Amino acid sequence: MACALGLEDQLAGVSHECDFPASVRGKPVVVHPALAFATLSPDQIDTAVAARMRAGESLYAVDETLLRALDADLILAQDLCQVCAPSGNDVTRVLASLERRPEVLYFTPATLDDVWEDLRSLGDASGTRERADTLIRESRARLNAVSARVNGATRPRVFFAEWIDPIYCAGHWIPEMIELAGGRDPLARSGAESVRMSWDDVVTAAPDVIIVAPCGYSRADAEAQVPLLARKPGWDALPAVRSGRVYAVDANAYYARPGPRLVDGVELLAHLLHRERVPWNGPRDAFRTV
């Protein structure tokens, strides 16, 4: 969001997850994970996260020394997902220890409109409101163009998996993205948190299309998790499997992070649901038919 508003040169520090555009990867990293997520399987991650949250422990650590040295005027944080953010207590304690208190913007979007409102707030705080308004107008125009292309088409049933083991449905802005792309997800929770689903729920929904998009994972990592689903009873009988419409996608780039690239995510979904109507002009490795 900051870079989309032309603020990259003013970006003093980032989190360990900040990787787009690629040029920000050389910025000082202020937030680090407290767990070795890369070494854990999806079910182990789910168990470890639940245990730390029950104990009131953060999943991330703030480099207090670096944060003080950066002496930032503005800190951007999210207060939407406890799994993805340093605990509020940690952030509050660190900020209270700073000699000069920076302005803090906490983003808690649950819908696409909320994402645009956050972009406006960042524009107001950084003196780039005009650029934010332009970006929002352009984004909405692209979304309207997608809706026009899929208008009148039969809406396939979609299951969008935000986590694989255990299985979680789509939540927050994802169901809205699916609707805009010309699909419907009967298990999704629009504007609400993603929740755990049973495999029987998925079988009963009989999806025509399955989108494998585990939160925090790239397309290649998502693809590697598909065998966890393929071992489930009744997998081969699902309409999506029989018709070859199971797709692994880059959740990090297009779905899990509430920013301007969600528009790309809608365009990608529309292509996967209605290829005859909507082309995909983005990176070729954004999705893979699995």
Show which of 50, 73, 108 is a domain's final residue.
Answer: 108
Instruction: Count structural domains, the chain.
Output: 2
Same domain, 159 and 218: yes
User: Does residue 226 belong to any structural domain of this protein?
Assistant: yes
> Amino acid letter at 41?
S
Kindly indicate the confidence band of residue 98, based on its pLDDT and cuts at 50, 70 and 90. confident
Strand-strand pairing, 60-62 and 29-33: antiparallel
Domain interval for residue 157:
133-289
- Which of 93, 108, 123 terminates a domain? The answer is 108
Q: Which residue has the tokens 């997850």?
A: 17
Structural domain contains residue 115 = no
Residue 119 lies in a domain: no
18 domain residue, yes or no? yes
Among 16-30, 76-90, 220-234, 276-290, where is mean pLDDT lowest? 76-90
User: Is residue 111 scored above 90 in pLDDT?
Assistant: yes
Choose one of 41, 73, 108: the last residue of a domain: 108
What is the value of pTM for the model shown?
0.91
Calpha distance 85→61 (Å, rounded): 10
182 inside domain: yes
Average pLDDT over residues 17-41: 85
Q: Which residue has the higher pLDDT, 203 or 50?
A: 203
216 and 253, same structural domain?
A: yes
Residues near 254 by beta carbon (within 8 Å), at least 6 away in sequence: 261, 262, 264, 265, 268, 286
Asked if residue 121 is part of any domain, the answer here is: no
Is pLDDT above 70 for 52? no
User: 40 and 156 share a domain?
Assistant: no
Please report whether residue 128 resides in a domain. Answer: no
pLDDT of 53 strictly over 70? no
